[in-house]
Structure 1
Amino acid sequence: MPQTVEDDVASTSWFHRIDLGGGITTPGIDDTPFKLTKLHLPQDLSGKSVIDIGCWNGAFSFECERRGAKRVLASDWYCWQGSSKLGFDIAKKALGSRVEELEIKVEDITAATVGTFDLVLFLGVLYHAPDPIGYLRRVREVCSGMAIIETLVDAEDYPRPAMVFYEGNTENSDSSNFFGPNRLACEAMLREVGFREVRMVDEFYGNRMVFHAFV
């Protein structure tokens, strides 16, 4: 019996919920449709180039393609190596997507290795960074227009830019969580690496924020 899309979806675990059409949505643990409303992603990306850094299952890469982006590069290393790339591959095939893909560490992302992009997505990555400013420098280097940064925040009661360091697996039992910056730290770091204008555009779950940064 031929393998169906349903069979493919059932063959792996999922983080993102992706509508694959035909009544099939991947059973991700993330409320991806809700998160999408909080990103304030431009509705029309016609003619734009996009890189999605840390894309995992690729939900936001495919959404940018759906919104008309002329080129989308989905990149990951940690999740594709540590978990699986199969979900991305299944979704890309089911959607008939032309999204490009590149397995690359954030530390290796530069204008020389990937080029520059009108829009950079950096979603759910910053608090996993052992070197937050270094990671944001990579984001700025490849951004020629706008970046959307979504992150865990902490220390919101502190009146200056600050970050909380999470030793071991003390944050959500996940040893890949390193730092929880507050809003002021996020804004300050983004300015420090060269973004001209930074706006906090939304917050949700009580400990997540979304920033739009412009070159």
Structure 2
Amino acid sequence: MSLRDDVNRFPFWYHRIELPGGVVTPGSAPVDAAAYKVPADLSGKRVLDVGAWDGYWSFEALKRGASQVVAIDDFSDRLGLLKEGDRRAWATFDFCRDALGYDATRCQRTEMSVYDVSEKQLGRFDVVFFFGTLYHLRHPLLALERLAAVTDDLLCIETAILDDYSVYRGGLGKGYGGSEVVMEFYVGKEYGDNDTNWWVPNLNCLTRMTVAAGFPYVTGWKLKNHPTQLPDCRGFSQGRRRPEPTAASQSH
């Protein structure tokens, strides 16, 4: 059986991952990997990937030179549409890890809630990826504080945002894109027909939350300036403990 046949045995893929031999898993995420602005060089960095799912960003960190990646997930999100058995825990992650040739020491994974992240459990990290997860949490600021407690340098966040879409204002084109600092709460399936979506901030709120978690140097941006569909209404925040080194400072 070919690698492509093996890929097709899984009922669902979230990530689009390039495997050897030109095989690509049939996922839809990330929509635009370049928009995440993950540093191109992660040489020697220890990276935590929160909500890793199939592992796209775990493997991407290793491709960029990370010395070790720890992936965590609690498998609680089924996108509002998957059946109970469609998310097969770490099966797709392990499949891709083996196909890409990464060993389980350099590329670790463990089932864990973000609220349980601690230095005692996992150690410390230079870089933390927190992608596609914040809006699934009942306590988003608590999660950011848990991650801040183990992050030495850079926290990268990607999440749904309200700048161009608001459930309560009337949908697409009716968000909070100005100076407001806003977060909406959903008790059911109001956002994206998914009952695991709890809170969505606008970008201004997201960057302020990053500062509040302990990262004074923050940049934020949108996936697309003029989104035409809900999946494109996404935002990013990068929080640093120290100012990002400039080209001039790196040359000395």
TM-score under structure 1 length normalisation = 0.92
Aligned to 1:89: 94
Where do 5+ consecutive residues of structure 2 fail to align? 79-83, 163-174, 242-252
Q: Give the structure with the higher percent helix.
A: 1
Q: Give the structure with the higher percent strand.
A: 1
Aligned to 2:202: 182
Aligned to 1:27: 26
Shift of 1:125: 0.5
Change (3 A) 1:71 1:8: same
Given that 1:152 and 1:209 are in contact with CA atoms closer than 8 Å, whether structure 2 keeps it comes out as: yes
Cα RMSD between the aligned structures? 1.7
Aligned to 2:165: none
Alpha-carbon distance in 1 for matches of 2:218, 2:138: 22
Aligned to 1:70: 67
Aligned to 1:159: 179
Alpha-carbon distance in 2 for matches of 1:36, 1:14: 17
Aligned to 1:106: 114
TM-score under structure 2 length normalisation = 0.79
Alpha-carbon distance in 1 for matches of 2:67, 2:77: 24
Aligned to 1:47: 44
Shift of 1:68: 0.6
Given that 1:202 and 1:211 are in contact with CA atoms closer than 8 Å, whether structure 2 keeps it comes out as: no
Alpha-carbon distance in 2 for matches of 1:189, 1:138: 13
Change (3 A) 1:169 1:101: same
Alpha-carbon distance in 1 for matches of 2:144, 2:136: 12
Q: Deviations over 1:68-118 (max 9, x none)?
A: 111111111125996222211111111111311111111101112111111
Max Rg structure: 2
Alpha-carbon distance in 1 for matches of 2:109, 2:47: 12
Shifted more, 186-195 versus 75-84: the winner is: 75-84
1:37 corresponds to 2:37: no
Alpha-carbon distance in 1 for matches of 2:159, 2:94: 25
Equivalent residues, number? 211
Moved over 6 A (4+): none
Alpha-carbon distance in 1 for matches of 2:221, 2:120: 31
Q: Could you say what secondary structure the match of 1:94 adopts? A: helix
Aligned to 2:143: 135
Percentage identity across paired residues of the two chains = 33
Change (3 A) 1:75 1:165: same
